[in-house]
Amino acid sequence: MFDFEEVVIWIVSSIFLGFLMSIKIVSHFLYIDPLSVLLYSAFAMILLFIFIFAQKLVAALLDCSTKTKWLSFKQYWFDDRLKLNWSFPLWLFLPLFLFLITLGKFVWLAILNFDAEPKEGRFRRKWHEISEFDIGKIAVAGPIAMLIVGLILRLLSLTNLAFYAVLLGFLSLIPIGNGFKLLLSSRPLWIFSLVLTGFMVFLISSPGIIINFLMAVFIAFLLLLAWLVLWEK
């Protein structure tokens, strides 16, 4: 299910995110605790494994396969001719930039993207091409898995870890890479999942997690309904 390149991406990404989550800036000095780096890297490995596995599982159910890759881009404007000859490593520069300008108060966790292609069994169907909605199902699987993990961790009173899990789900829905795939495939699904995870980022630390989750679902449904009525007439 994971090839060698994907394993390398998974491990390197986990160490990178573990470093960012553990590092502290005190009086404009960096404070690094090796034990915290190790523990957060292990936690990031678990989160990213579940995130990637969820997407691969949904892809397999759709007779597709996914190739996990780092968040990057070549084309920097709408004109197809305006693009780089190499992939700009947004997965590296965006988290570091946001970490530095916020003095370590914000960690961008969504550094993975994916490509999807049909499996051999899918070619036997009359319509074997991967639809945009299929791509959307795969894209949303990771964030939903993170939301579930966050709820479980919160019920276990691991609030800080639950926050990072839900934050990863929310940031993965921002229309860059993974979130952009979902936006193009299904705006209603993108709006609902973005609002739901966004509210849970702020509510995950509050008492009454079940009530908070139900409230977030209700608000996400209302906003989706309002969008459908006002903009999708």
Give pLDDT tens digits for 61-114: 998 999 999 999 876 665 666 677 778 899 999 999 999 999 888 999 999 999
The values of phi and psi at residue 69, to 5°, are -145, 170
Report yes or no: 109 and 43 within 8 Å, Cβ to Cβ. Answer: no
Cα(187)–Cα(198) distance, integer angstroms: 16
Residue pair 60/77 in contact by the 8 Å Cβ criterion: no
Ordered per-residue pLDDT tens for the chain, 233 residues: 789 999 999 999 999 999 999 998 777 778 888 999 999 999 999 999 999 999 999 999 998 999 999 999 876 665 666 677 778 899 999 999 999 999 888 999 999 999 999 887 655 555 567 888 999 999 999 999 999 999 999 999 999 999 999 999 999 999 999 999 999 999 999 999 999 999 999 999 999 999 999 999 999 999 999 988 887 65
Centre a 10 Å sphere on the Cβ of residue 104 and count the other Cβ atoms it contains. 16
Nearest of 153, 134, 164 to residue 48 by alpha carbon? 164
Contact 23, 32 (CB under 8 A): yes
Domain ranges of the chain: 4-231
- Among 164, 175, 108, residue whose Cα is nearest residue 140: 175
Instruction: Spell 77-100 as b/e; 16+ CB within 10 A means b.
Output: eeeeeeeeeeeeebbbeebeeebe
pTM of model > 0.85:
yes
Structure-block tokens of residue 135:
């791509």
Q: ∠ CA(17), CA(19), CA(23), 5° rounding?
A: 125
d(CA 173, CA 225) in angstroms, rounded, equals 19
Residues 6 or more apart whose CB falls under 8 angstroms from that of 88 comprise 72, 73, 74, 76
